[in-house]
Chain A
């Protein structure tokens, strides 16, 4: 039974890290995309898309919004999926324990 539980935790752990590292990569791509635009295409970011609003300022604000969105995705996944899987693993063990001892 201990082995069952260990494999279940390991499988869930791998799933969690995959999801977390994927979101981390997404944040890095967004942020460094912004930085690279600043570094290599300054005129583009100076383009005005409305009076007073340059593309650079809009994209900068959107990077902050993107951080919020990614965090929302993470919270939704952990609350709805990860936490339930953890609870399931705990419940399975309690169910098996009496016969074990």
Chain B
């Protein structure tokens, strides 16, 4: 029988476990070294600002190329052809926006979180509370996606129980973040980025070697096997407004993801922030171009029926391709890389959530901005522990959710809650505290409410006949709404003190120094 998958996936795989333990041992070694160098809040949140542009570029890539990209997109392309590529491209085009509008001003104006920038010339407390709500909403959705992905993956790759897998990811991640803070997180992300890029390149080269090193020969073989339709847009994009809404969320969401924005504080200056986005975009773009080859390669060499036989969502396409091309050992390597991928992303997310809780809420709201280093570190580590436990609980509660869809929603909330307020606070003189707070709250709430009334929740999940809101992704409505509310409220109730400080903020954004 051709359709019976001939694979060892889902069984105990000693090679995968060996590679996995090597990675864990190395990364815990890094954590031990990082812990000795983590002496202050600046070390804990921002690695003391001592990461170079190139290193940060790799770490950004490691933070961004999640399991959803590697496994999810390869699977989507393998099963749907061209439609899967829409995600590849959407995930990349957010990076130029980060470069042009966000990276350097953020580095110059803030210290640990993007809220530092929004709150710079506004009233601290209301802005920080509103922004912490938005940040935690984004981080929670993103964490659900990663933890659910981790649980399923490890179950399939190592033949391990789902809940045990979620516990292991949560536990290992916590030991990185609690003890090693941003220094350990950064190095785990760098190691993971190198492993993931290396593994993808080898896999792509192995695929191409079967097709005379020509991608078009590969695409032609895929079209021969499954019809020319796999090279054209298909049924996945049936509603044009849905495609635009998802596109808008992916593009502007990157510039509002708290764990990505936080990385810009780890470099010494704005110029290093600039070069880090350049490196990140080169690595990430290259990686997404390779997903074209992985996806079509899995479609042709593994076969759609075999992929669907192991996992209906297609998430195992890349590991199965590795097994077909490189045997058991290569499957073990790719499996361990996938695990490392999830660990690195979860670590970055947890750290940014912890910064919102401890730096924004505890230090600046409860303590009015005056807490000594010792207390800041203690609170930061406590918040990390809290979020780590939360992520384990979320992962177990939300078992079975679609990973790529949850990531799309996290991007939509980030694009609505964080991006409008962040952009207006830097660009627009008349932006006010009330404008920022209402924009962030309306952005968060409207995207959450619209998600609840979307066809995915109402029809697919709750089995209702119709949905109040027609789109799967709320971005097309919630992003313009957050901008509009911020503008209208700021114009209705001016704030002269914030307007007066605009010069000072502008000076710091561009000159990168305090005004004398």
Contacts and interface: CB of A to CB of B under 8 A. Distances in A.
B292 A57 contact: yes
A31 B281 contact: no
A89 B511 contact: yes
Contacts, number: 147
B243 interface: yes
Contacts of B232: 42-43, 45-46, 54, 56
Nearest to A9: B507
A24 interface: yes
Interface of B: 82, 85-86, 88-90, 92-93, 95-97, 99-101, 104, 215-221, 223, 228-229, 231-234, 237, 240, 243-244, 247, 251, 271, 274-275, 277-278, 281-282, 285, 288-289, 292, 427, 503, 506-507, 509-512
Given A57-B219, A64-B289, 8 more contacts: A16-B510, A23-B100, A32-B247, A46-B233, A50-B216, A52-B231, A57-B231, A75-B274
Contact of B96 (A36, A38, A71): A71
Contact of B281 (A43, A56, A71, A83): A71
Given A46-B233, A60-B89, A13 B509 contact: yes
Interface residues on A, range: 35 or more
A35 B288 CA distance: 17
Given A20-B101, A34-B89, A39-B243, A46 B228 contact: yes
Nearest to B250: A31
A53 B93 contact: no
A51 interface: yes
A66 to B, nearest CB: 9
Contacts of A32: 244, 247
A71 B8 CA distance: 44
B95 to A, nearest CB: 7
B94 to A, nearest CB: 9
A20 B219 CA distance: 37
Interface string A45-75: 1101011111011001101100110110011
B399 to A, nearest CB: 33
Contacts of B292: 57, 60-61
B97 A39 contact: no
Q: Which 9 A-B pairs have the closest CB atoms?
A: A46-B232, A52-B220, A39-B240, A54-B231, A52-B216, A52-B219, A20-B100, A42-B233, A35-B247
B82 A64 contact: no
Nearest to B255: A24
A35 to B, nearest CB: 5
Contacts of B278: 71, 75
Contacts of A67: 92-93, 95-96, 281, 285
B100 A24 contact: yes
A91 interface: no
A29 to B, nearest CB: 11
A14 to B, nearest CB: 10
B491 to A, nearest CB: 20
Most chain A beta carbons < 10 A, residue from B229, B231, B237, B506: B231
A71 B243 contact: no
